[in-house]
Amino acid sequence: MKSILDSREIAACTSDIEQRVYTSRLLGRDKTLVLHGGGNTSVKASQKNAFGEDEDILFVKGSGWDLEKIEGGGFSPVRLDHLKRLAKLTSLPDPAMVNELVTHMTRASAPVPSVEAILHAILPYKYVDHTHADAVVTVTNSVNGEARIREIYGDSVVVIPYVMPGFDLARVCAVEFGRQVGPQTIGMVLLNHGIFSFGETAKESYERMIELVGRSEEYLKRNKAWDIEWNTVGTPAENVGLDLARLRKDISVVADFPVVMVRHKDAHSLSFVGRDDVATIAQQGPATPDHVIRTKRLPMLGRDVAAYAEAYRAYFAAHEPMAKERKTMLDPAPRLVLDPELGMCSVGRSAKDAAIVAEIYAHTMEIVSRATALGGYRALPARDIFDVEYWDLEQAKLKKGGKPAAFAGEVALVTGAASGIGKACVDSLLARGAAVVGIDLNPAITSLYDRPDFLGLECDVASDEQLKSALMRTAEAFGGLDMLVLNAGIFPGGCRIDALGTDEWRKVMQVNLDANFVLMREAHPFLKLAPRGGRVVIIGSKNVPAPGPGAAAYSASKAALNQLARVAALEWGGDNIRINSLHPNAVFDTGIWTEEVLASRAKHYGLTVDAYKKNNVLKTEVTSRDVAELAAEMCGALFAKTTGAQVPVDGGNDRVI
């Protein structure tokens, strides 16, 4: 472990807070030290109050901030004397503690201070750094962990037995620190939790953290427990899209809400799930309390979701009477699946949640493997893990998250998604919380968005193989398919029937009709497994009810597609799949309508561009977004009882009306 501190950069930090921000970010950049909002840092400084008096303030990381991206405003200023007095109380329930923290800040708009604020306050050093470093947790979670920690660190750290984070931990630390501190003390190890370092400058505290964590790394290396051989057993099973979709459906049913499930078949995951001893080493518990809420107590081995839920309910019930009061919070669905064929699957209420679970577990697999090599992995007892999992502060945080988005945990696929109406559909679905796969012939689709809930795939819809592959990749990326938006289509230049070539006719039919038929057929088994029922939205055309001259191939293809949708609505209703169509007209904010084309068309009709755009009954402009919002709503609750419908979105057309 090496320091990445740049002496010029830290010299440029002029205030205590700037220094605090700088080294906090250094810690945050190293994912083996802190993950996803884990870890926290602080600085003690003096500040003038409204009366012109100096007050000692603890600036401690606010909740909701990630160390990697923290700014000055992410540190909550809390009056230090008050925190020190709180530490002397014999007991204080955690919600009351949080109330004390919040009501003793000096900036009303600051974030809620970290629940470890009192712990920072009682450490008599200007700068305090706290991480859940993988290497340290690996050692503390090994057989004889405490003895190993004492061997590694001697009198340079104070060692604290495991206590659940919150007021009780701060109190135990206050007492133990006073008893164990000596002239050599530069840090504090919390068994099964993490490590603190401190110093008079941000640099000193940071470098001590690096040094202390480095000692655990060296110890693991000396004991041949550092380099793990990730021997993949065989190759990952292919074409398991429907297996994944079935598994995701089972998990969603047990959770009582749809979940996104992401498959990980990298060498580490496959090797870990393929270990002979996986049933032992993966069935003990998370490495640090910080991970419990995300990953839950244990991963599921294999695919028997009902058995997992049964065991989880027993674990929950075993911790009564607390469990009784909290029955409404019971969620017996796994967040991780370890399966020899599938690899590691991470589960979340959103793609982002599932990505966080996966990242945490990637570290857990390393920690568990190394601890096993060192002599055996030992997680906390189930009781302690339960206390964190159903900790009132964490539950309050979950509640504060509010009502989930309309399509949270659901997966949509949009064709022709790189631009125009297709891209607008991607946006409308993402905005409603869905994970979205966008496919397009245009390779730009692959870099349309860089976010965990979007996957862009280059795909020629005229190829059956490419469509099948897109569905497989959708299942691998998000666990299945709930919504299908058929938007891709071509509109060739105007041409009368007597001059229309057979090739052009066939090309239009292939893209606008055949490709949609193939995709619907191949998507059907996935849509059938959608936890809340499958939905298909067809982007039709005004030309279906009101064709125009010169667009024979286009109008015929869209009309045939419309008829296909009506038959599908009849056939698939029993599978709880709804199919609805919308018929847009004159949507001009798409790629094909350049300023020049618009101007020339408007001129052709003797209209201004504006009048041409609004040439409909309502005299209104119809945008891609208008179409996309209707498409998204057709997948939502408003249309829950509607299938086989056709809705125009054209500002009113006298030929359609």
Which C-beta is closer to Zn ion: that of 194 or that of 409?
Answer: 194
Which C-beta is closer to Zn ion: that of 194 or that of 452?
Answer: 194
Which C-beta is closer to Zn ion: that of 44 or that of 130?
Answer: 130
Total residues contacting Zn ion (rule CB under 5 A)?
1
**Hey, which residues between 194 and 233 contact Zn ion (CB under 5 A)?**
194
Q: How far is the CB of 167 from Zn ion (least distance, A)?
A: 14
Nearest CA to 27 out of 177, 156, 205 is that of 205
Distances (CA, A) of 360 to 32, 39, 312, 336: 10, 14, 21, 11
Q: Residue with the closest Cβ to Zn ion? A: 194
Q: How far is the CB of 640 from Zn ion (least distance, A)?
A: 44
Give the range of 9-17, 188-196, 372-380, 399-407 binding Zn ion by CB under 5 A. 188-196
Task: Assess contact for 1 and 26: CB atoms under 8 A.
Answer: no
Task: Assess contact for 384 and 169: CB atoms under 8 A.
Answer: no
Exposed, middle or buried by CB within 10 Å (0-12, 13-18, 19+), for 523? buried
Strand partners, 484: 413, 536
Q: How far is the CB of 164 from Zn ion (least distance, A)?
A: 11
Give the range of 3-11, 193-201, 593-601, 614-622 binding Zn ion by CB under 5 A. 193-201
**Hey, which residues between 155 and 174 contact Zn ion (CB under 5 A)?**
none
**Hey, which residues between 313 and 372 contact Zn ion (CB under 5 A)?**
none
Spot the catalytic one: 206, 312, 315, 554. Answer: 554
The Cα 16–Cα 640 span in angstroms is 57
Q: How far is the CB of 40 from Zn ion (least distance, A)?
A: 7
Which C-beta is closer to Zn ion: that of 194 or that of 438?
Answer: 194
Q: How far is the CB of 367 from Zn ion (least distance, A)?
A: 15
Strands (E), 268-335: 300-301
Task: Assess contact for 485 and 631: CB atoms under 8 A.
Answer: yes
Strands (E), 555-652: 577-584, 646-649
Nearest CA to 581 out of 537, 623, 625, 643 is that of 537
The Cα 392–Cα 390 span in angstroms is 6
Give the range of 192-200, 397-405, 476-484, 560-568 binding Zn ion by CB under 5 A. 192-200
Q: How far is the CB of 526 from Zn ion (least distance, A)?
A: 41
Nearest CA to 601 out of 592, 242, 386, 161 is that of 592
**Hey, which residues between 392 and 451 contact Zn ion (CB under 5 A)?**
none
Q: Would residue 605 show up in a list of annotated catalytic residues for this protein?
A: no
DSSP element (H, E) containing 37:
none
Give the range of 68-76, 187-195, 312-320, 467-475 binding Zn ion by CB under 5 A. 187-195
Which C-beta is closer to Zn ion: that of 190 or that of 634?
Answer: 190
Q: How far is the CB of 151 from Zn ion (least distance, A)?
A: 23
Which C-beta is closer to Zn ion: that of 114 or that of 643?
Answer: 114
Longest dimension (CA), the chain: 97
The Cα 457–Cα 446 span in angstroms is 5
Task: With H, G, I as helix, E, B as strand and everything else as coil, classify residue 461.
Answer: coil
Give the range of 138-146, 186-194, 292-300, 477-485 binding Zn ion by CB under 5 A. 186-194
Strands (E), 463-523: 483-486
Nearest CA to 284 out of 294, 299, 295, 271 is that of 299
Q: How far is the CB of 403 from Zn ion (least distance, A)?
A: 30
Cα 546 from chain centre: 44
Q: How far is the CB of 286 from Zn ion (least distance, A)?
A: 13
DSSP element (H, E) containing 631:
helix 624-634
Nearest CA to 189 out of 113, 268, 126, 135 is that of 135
The Cα 640–Cα 539 span in angstroms is 18
Q: How far is the CB of 416 from Zn ion (least distance, A)?
A: 48
- Dihedral Cα 4, 9, 15, 16, nearest 10 deg: 10
Q: How far is the CB of 199 from Zn ion (least distance, A)?
A: 19
Task: Assess contact for 1 and 214: CB atoms under 8 A.
Answer: yes
The Cα 544–Cα 585 span in angstroms is 11
Exposed, middle or buried by CB within 10 Å (0-12, 13-18, 19+), for 200? exposed
Q: How far is the CB of 630 from Zn ion (least distance, A)?
A: 47
Alpha helices in 326-449 (DSSP H): 351-374, 382-389, 392-400, 420-431
Nearest CA to 527 out of 426, 428, 413, 439 is that of 413
Distances (CA, A) of 425 to 478, 488, 539, 628, 651: 18, 12, 10, 4, 19
DSSP 308-319: HHHHHHHHHHTT
DSSP 39-71: -EEEEEEEEE-TTS-EEEEEEEEBTT--GGG--
Chain residues that interact with Zn ion, rule: CB under 5 A? 194
Q: What residues are labeled active site?
A: 554
